[in-house]
Structures are given as C-alpha cells and as structure tokens.
Structure 1
Amino acid sequence: MKHLIRVLPGLPCLVLALPAIAASPVDTGGKLILDARYRFEQVDQDNALDTAKAHSLRTRIGYRTPRWHGLSGLVEIDDVRHLGAEHFNDTRNGRAGYATVGDPEGTEVNQALIRYAADWGSAQVGRQRINLGNQRFVGGVGWRQNEQTYDGAMIELAPGAGWKLTYAYLDNINSVFGPDDTRPVSRTAPADIEGHSHLLQAQYAFSSNLSAIGYHYRLGLDNLAVAPGAPPGTLSSRTSGLRVQGKAGGFSYVLEHARQRELAGNPWRLDSRYWLAEAGYRWQDIQWKAGYEVLGAGGGTGNRAFQTPLATKHAFQGWADQFLTTPADGLRDAYAGFSLPLGGGEWQTWYHDFRSDRGGDRFGRELDLSWRHAIPGVKGLEGLLKLASYRSSDTARTVDTDKFWVQVQYTY
C-alpha cells in the first residue's frame, strides 16, 4: 500500500467521500462488483518434482461509484484462499518439492482509483488495471488468481477522428506473486516490482477495417532480474514498435515489429527484435488463425533476449507456460488454431511449434484445448475445462508438461 499512498496521498480520504458525492441528485446509480472464481489446477512434469494439485478460490468485492460531473471512483478487494491440502508450490508456501501453481494466498487492494471522464478522453490515478492492446507487452495477467495491477496515473485522449493517445506513469507494479514476499525476496518473482516506468501508445484507425498502433514503453524495473543469478534491473528496457491490423471480408491480418534496448540503470546492454505475422479467417461461426512470432536472441553473456515482463503471458506461446521468460537463444513460435461453438459453449484448439531464434533448434511442440460454457440456471455462472500438453524436443532446456484445469466462475 505504501506505493499506492505515495502516488495519490489523498486517495483514502477521497474514496471515503465518494458515497457522499454519490448522494447528489445528478448521480445515476453505482455498480457493485462481486466475483468468485474456483479453480482446480493440476501440473504434471517429467522431472523430479511431484505432481501439483491445487484447489483455490479467488473472491473479489468492490464498488464503482456513479459519475458526478465526470468524476467517479472505484475500490476493489481481492482475496485468494487455498482449499484443502497444499500439494503444490505457490512460490511462497515452501512446497519446493511440487510443481508450481503460482497462486499465493492473501488479501489485497486490487484497485483503488479516482477517474475523470470527458469528451476529450479520461484520466485516472491510483491502483488500477492496465491492459494495452492485446496485452502482449502490458496487461493484467487475469488468468492467475491474483491479478497484476499498477500504481500510477493514466490519461487517454481522443484528439481527433480515428485517434486515441495513451500515456501511463507507473510507480509500482503489484505482481501475481503477491501480496506478500518471502525472505529472501525473489529476484525473478517479487510481490512488488519497484521502479518508474512510462508507457506511450498512439492508435489511428484509417477505417473500420485498418488501424495502426505505435508504442514506446520505458520500463524501469529496479528489483527485477531476468534470471536468479542475474543482477537486479536486467529487465529494465525501452521498447519501440508498430502494429498494423486489418480485415477484408472474412480475412484478417496482423503485422508487428519492435526493437528492445536497455534503459538507464540496466547493467546489461540489450538489443533485440520482435516480429509477428498473423492471418485469420472467419467462416460462419468458426474462426481460424495462424501466425509466426519471433522474440529475438540478444548478444553478449547471460540472457539478453527480447522479454515482455509485464505481459499477460499465459495468452501467448502456449497455455503450458513453458516460456514465461524468453530463452537466451530467443524463441520462434509457429502456431495455428480455431474456435467454434460446441454444445452451447465455445471450443478452442491450438497447436504450437517452438524453436530457438538463434540456431533454429527445436524446443518442443504443444497442443492446447478448452471448452467454456455458461452454467444454466444462474445468471453470470460459467464453467471452463482446459488442457495444455507440451512435449519437449530439447530436454536440457524444457521438460514434458501436462496441465489441466477445471474452473467455475460467478460474476455479478
């Protein structure tokens, strides 16, 4: 909380005053936030670690006030609990003999912010959710039970037709491994990522079928390291890129390129590239996609490959999460998949082929399957079955991994 209070010293007082503001005759209804998500996760790896079996419950409660002359507020509390015996390593419970399920227990302020909205755009300050674009570089990691949120300020502008400009200043990042740290504090997975970061993004829609996004992210991640033996700050970087996306009839496409270099304070020199080419086709209710994504290798000793430390990584490069940190030789991911309605729900199938960027060595391949379905009889209740199966072709760097999830979520 010290970071949140430093960003906005008056936020607690303002939040307490919001019910009084909401009593004004010009207000129109606030919104109660209530969300409960139960999940069973099993992780079986072909190594010395015991199979992990985790039952957890994430409960979220909050309130979004009505708008009053453009001003509104939001408070949101998350609580994560383990149900039953802890036969898994949550990165904080000391169960190092089990495979990892990164959902530590704890209660934390997930969001607490003041927002102002007008015709020109909006501004908000406090602890907040930030999801930029497709979350490949900056996101909330919403798949994990403890969401990643940001202490800082963000402004979004609409200066003209087709334009959207975004700037955010980050003072602290509340990672999925919080709310509490263990001793000694992890260099690769701290509860709070400290440092000052700046996010800039400009989006222009040429038409309803074509848009471009330019971005520049300056990440000062002072206490975060790319590997346990690497110095703190080795993930501090400046990344500039351009993404172009469009569609024509049932076809869609994405082209993207970015360059990553070190930011002041990083003891290592960085210079690596990111490339993405993706094509899709929709026929009736079936959506097909195929793509090729490259996170380039860097030069020098240690792991200096292209990294995305603030991304919602579970959505990319396979659900088995084998490449949350890009290997030192970089990574090429050739993928294809489809989604379609099935049994009243949605079915997804994805296949990935992973190779190193430097040398082209094959890491492995992965098959991902999921089925999501609304549960009849209760509005807002939804079930999910999900499977990820990774098979290694390079056992010196990765291992066979199977993950299975059963999830039930209620959203009010």
Structure 2
Amino acid sequence: MPRATLTPIALALLSLSAPAFAAEDLANLVNQGKVSVDARYRYENVDQDNALNNADAQTLRTRIGLQSGKWYGLSGLVEADNVSRIGDASYNSTRNGQGDYSVVADPDGSEINQALLRYDHQYGNVVFGRQRINLDNQRFVGGVAWRQNEQTYDGALAQIKPLAGMTLTYAYIDNINTIFGPDDNRFDNKTNPANIEGHSHLINAQYVVMPELTLTAYSYLLGLDNIAASAASPLGSLASQTNGLRANGTLGAFSYAAEYAQQKDYADNPLELDSDYRLAEIGYTWQGVLFKGGYEVLGGDDGAGNRAFQTPLATKHAFQGWADVFLTTPKDGIEDAYVGVTAPLWGGQLQAWYHDFDAEQGSDSYGDEIDLSYGHPIPGVKGLGALAKYATYSSDDDALTVDTDKFWLQLQYTY
C-alpha cells in the first residue's frame, strides 16, 4: 500500500491555516493587559453679571484603568475616577452648598467610570456594563468628556457591520451616570441628578457611501424618569423620542454636514412635545487651517412649560458656545449662526469661534459669544499637554441670560 506524502504546497497551506485553529491561551487576558493613567488639573474662573460671587475652582481628576487582553474576542475593562478640590471651595459644584457662587459643575467624589465586558467579532461587537457611548458628533448622545466627571451609561450596546462601510448600532440603557455624580445630597435638584433612571433605547444606522457622503439615520427613545427640563417643569419632562437623518462628507478641501430631526414626547412625559432640529454646516481647509461656518436651530414651542427641543444626553459644551449659557434650550427655541477657525500654531492648535444667538420663535436676540483656545504639548514629557481657553458671552436679553465670562487653564497627563 503506497504511503501518503505531503507536497511542499500542501505543507505551506497547512502552516498558513494553523493559527486559525490554534487554541488561544486564557492567560492572554492578563499577559496582554494594559494599565492606563490619566490626570487632569484644571483652574476655572466664572464671572457673571448677576448677584452671584465669581467662581474660582481648582480641581484634579485622576483616572486609572485596567484593560485586559483578548481571549477568543472577549475582553474586559475597569476604570475608576476621583475628582478632588484643590484649595478653597469658592464655587458652586452643585453639591457643596456654595450657592452664593457661580456654578462649576465638578463635584468631588470617587466613582467607577467604566466596568464592562466586550466581545469583538469581524462583523461587529457587543458591550455589557458601564460604558462610554459617543454617537456621531455627540449632539444627541455623548460622554461630556469636558467636565471632570465623565457621563457614562449602564446597559448593553451591540454594533453590527453587515457591509463594508455600514454600522448598525443598538443600545439599551437603564441608568445614566451624569457629570453631577457620584452622589446626590440636599443641595441637588431635579435638573441635575447624579443618576438618571429609566429605560432608553438608542438606534443608529450609518452608511459610508463614499468619502464624499456618509448617511446616518437614528431614533433615540429616552425614558428619563427622574429629571426635569427646568426647576418649574415636572419630572419626566425630558423623556423624548428623537428621529433624524444626517448627511456629511468631504469634497476635496470642502466639508459639509446637513441634518434634520423631529422630537416628540415619549414614555410617561406629562408634556406633549413637537419640535424640530435643523443643521447646515460647511468647512474649508487651506494649508492645514480649517474655516467653518454653520447654522443650527433647536425649535421652540408656545405651549405651557418649556417644550423646546432638548438634548439631555449630548456633549453640550461642544455646541452653542463654550460659556454653556444654553445647556437648556429656551422655551422659544434657539438659532445659532456661527463661524470659526482651527489652525496649527507654534506646534499647538488655536481655535477661535463667534456665535450669534436668536430665538427660533419671535424676533428676540439672545446675544453673542466669542470663544478662544490654545492647546500645546509640553516638550520633554510624553503625554503631557496644556490648554488655555476663554469664552465671553454678551446678553441681549437680561430676562433670560446674563453676561458671562469663563476662563480655564488646564494640564493633562495621559499614559
């Protein structure tokens, strides 16, 4: 009987395919793990034209994380934060009882920022636990990473990539860890709970048709039970269903974005909501300098209470000016016409923006704002960077807003 032999080609094919069938070592979870450290010192000054004392806040946010390696696509992450005040408490953190001062929403405390299990596959991933969720440009769902205590989400998220360029995302959320945490006390109110309770569903479908066009459709069903749009609004008044479409892309040196969304009431919201969101934005890059202009509208409503278009889970600091005057959309809505430039300068990055704010309903002018920032890595220390930032808002409607100046100095180290 002839003896079977393997040809050189067969041996080569076997050697290539062997890793696909090789058992993965459970020890990879530990051996391929990584420790991360992030420390961010910030000085923030707030000067408002009202009876409140100017705020001067020095805080240090320390974050330590442990990311495991992967075993058959499985991995885990645990991340802990601590926010500590440095020096006097000459500011209202929303939890420290310093109500005579302007707000700097960075309460002291320690918290598990993320604790999750993750499974990765060539066609997508699934994440269970406390996690960071940033969808699209974070206008509707984000982590509010600007504040010292990041906003994270308790629940499950699944992403499927059935086609090249297509990503389908679904998340179920039953608790939101807000920037006002980790704890409530006698100084909080119904607009700033440490945890937002309720059952929420996030649905997002994105398709990169080509570099010139990305299409996104979304539906965000927010069941937010224990939070209100304002102190005068009932609990649950931010529960909403927002359905929208977004198109964005680049054409040579030009970039653009166009978006429309409609917001209705959802779950047990005692108010009837019906408002629109509109965005048109265009940018142009020349020799590394980005020029951008846009027009964003969050619709108002003349019904009882504040029924304007709200974005309670957004990274709001990135929109409508850094002074954060319009974290809650006014009852009459808001129109924001803005222009800005982002430019490399002396090894760092300079930003300058101008906003003009008007009511969406009626002819009232809210005011305007100028924002400036400059960030630069610190030479000789890998992972260390500095930032100086300034925002000045001038009010045209003293019954609604006040003149506000804010200034920040920041040092951040990431390892």
Q: TM-score, normalised by structure 2?
A: 0.93
CA drift of 1:87 comes to: 0.3
**Equivalent position of 1:331 in the other structure:** 334
- Specify the SS of the correspondent of 2:57: strand
- Specify the SS of the correspondent of 2:317: helix
CA drift of 1:212 comes to: 0.5
Matching of residue 128 in structure 1 with residue 106 in structure 2: no
**Equivalent position of 1:194 in the other structure:** 197
Q: Structure 1's 22 and 399: CA in aligned 2 closer, same or farther, altered over 3 A?
A: farther
Distance in structure 1 (CA, Å) of the matches to 2:204 and 2:29: 34
CA contact (8 A) 1:236 1:265 kept: yes
Q: Structure 1's 210 and 377: CA in aligned 2 closer, same or farther, altered over 3 A?
A: same
Q: Which amino acid aligns with 2:340?
A: G
Distance in structure 1 (CA, Å) of the matches to 2:42 and 2:370: 21
Distance in structure 1 (CA, Å) of the matches to 2:66 and 2:25: 12
Matching of residue 377 in structure 1 with residue 380 in structure 2: yes
CA drift of 1:158 comes to: 0.2
**Equivalent position of 2:39 in the other structure:** 36
One of 214, 217, 220 as aligned partner of 2:217: 214
**Equivalent position of 1:318 in the other structure:** 321
- Specify the SS of the correspondent of 2:275: strand
CA drift of 1:304 comes to: 0.2
Q: Which amino acid aligns with 2:39?
A: A
- Specify the SS of the correspondent of 1:243: strand
Distance in structure 2 (CA, Å) of the matches to 1:241 and 1:323: 22
CA contact (8 A) 2:26 2:71 kept: no
Q: Structure 1's 259 and 319: CA in aligned 2 closer, same or farther, altered over 3 A?
A: same
Q: Which amino acid aligns with 1:50?
A: N
**Equivalent position of 1:62 in the other structure:** 65
Distance in structure 1 (CA, Å) of the matches to 2:27 and 2:60: 37
Q: Which amino acid aligns with 1:128?
A: Q
**Equivalent position of 1:230 in the other structure:** 233
CA drift of 1:26 comes to: 8.4
Distance in structure 1 (CA, Å) of the matches to 2:115 and 2:102: 34
CA drift of 1:103 comes to: 0.2
Q: 1:247-396, aligned counterparts within 5 Å?
A: 247-396=250-399
Q: Structure 1's 51 and 22: CA in aligned 2 closer, same or farther, altered over 3 A?
A: farther
**Equivalent position of 1:85 in the other structure:** 88
**Equivalent position of 1:9 in the other structure:** none
Deviation digits for residues 71-102 of structure 1 (CA, Å, limit 9, x no counterpart): 00000000000000000000000000000000
**Equivalent position of 1:111 in the other structure:** 114
Matching of residue 161 in structure 1 with residue 147 in structure 2: no
CA drift of 1:264 comes to: 2.3
Deviation digits for residues 147-205 of structure 1 (CA, Å, limit 9, x no counterpart): 00000000001011221000000010000000010127521000000000000000011
CA contact (8 A) 1:76 1:110 kept: yes
Deviation digits for residues 298-343 of structure 1 (CA, Å, limit 9, x no counterpart): 2411100000000000000000000000000000000000011112
Q: Which amino acid aligns with 2:269?
A: N
- RMSD of equivalent CA atoms: 1.2
CA drift of 1:22 comes to: 7.9
**Equivalent position of 2:78 in the other structure:** 75
Q: Which amino acid aligns with 1:397?
A: L
**Equivalent position of 1:3 in the other structure:** none
Q: Which amino acid aligns with 2:196?
A: I
CA contact (8 A) 1:27 1:68 kept: no
CA contact (8 A) 1:193 1:224 kept: yes
CA contact (8 A) 2:94 2:187 kept: no
Distance in structure 1 (CA, Å) of the matches to 2:54 and 2:414: 31
- Specify the SS of the correspondent of 2:27: coil
Deviation digits for residues 281-307 of structure 1 (CA, Å, limit 9, x no counterpart): 001110000000000012411100000
Distance in structure 1 (CA, Å) of the matches to 2:265 and 2:378: 48
CA drift of 1:23 comes to: 5.5
Deviation digits for residues 112-169 of structure 1 (CA, Å, limit 9, x no counterpart): 0000001110001000000000000000000000000000000001011221000000
CA drift of 1:28 comes to: 6.0
Unpaired segments ≥5 residues, structure 2: 1-23
**Equivalent position of 1:8 in the other structure:** none
Instruction: Mark the structure with the bigger radius of gyration.
Output: 2
Runs of 4+ in 1 over 3 A off after TM superposition: 25-28
CA drift of 1:401 comes to: 0.4
Distance in structure 1 (CA, Å) of the matches to 2:81 and 2:33: 19
CA contact (8 A) 2:95 2:188 kept: no
Distance in structure 1 (CA, Å) of the matches to 2:342 and 2:137: 18
Q: Which amino acid aligns with 2:63?
A: R
Q: Structure 1's 180 and 209: CA in aligned 2 closer, same or farther, altered over 3 A?
A: same
Q: Which amino acid aligns with 2:210?
A: S
Amino-acid identity (%) = 59
Q: Which stretch has the larger CA shift, 183-192 or 301-310? A: 183-192
Distance in structure 2 (CA, Å) of the matches to 1:407 and 1:284: 28
CA contact (8 A) 2:85 2:108 kept: yes
Q: Which amino acid aligns with 1:152?
A: G
Q: Structure 1's 99 and 162: CA in aligned 2 closer, same or farther, altered over 3 A?
A: same
One of 148, 158, 165 as aligned partner of 1:145: 148
Q: Structure 1's 26 and 39: CA in aligned 2 closer, same or farther, altered over 3 A?
A: closer
Deviation digits for residues 36-70 of structure 1 (CA, Å, limit 9, x no counterpart): 00000000000000000000000000100001110
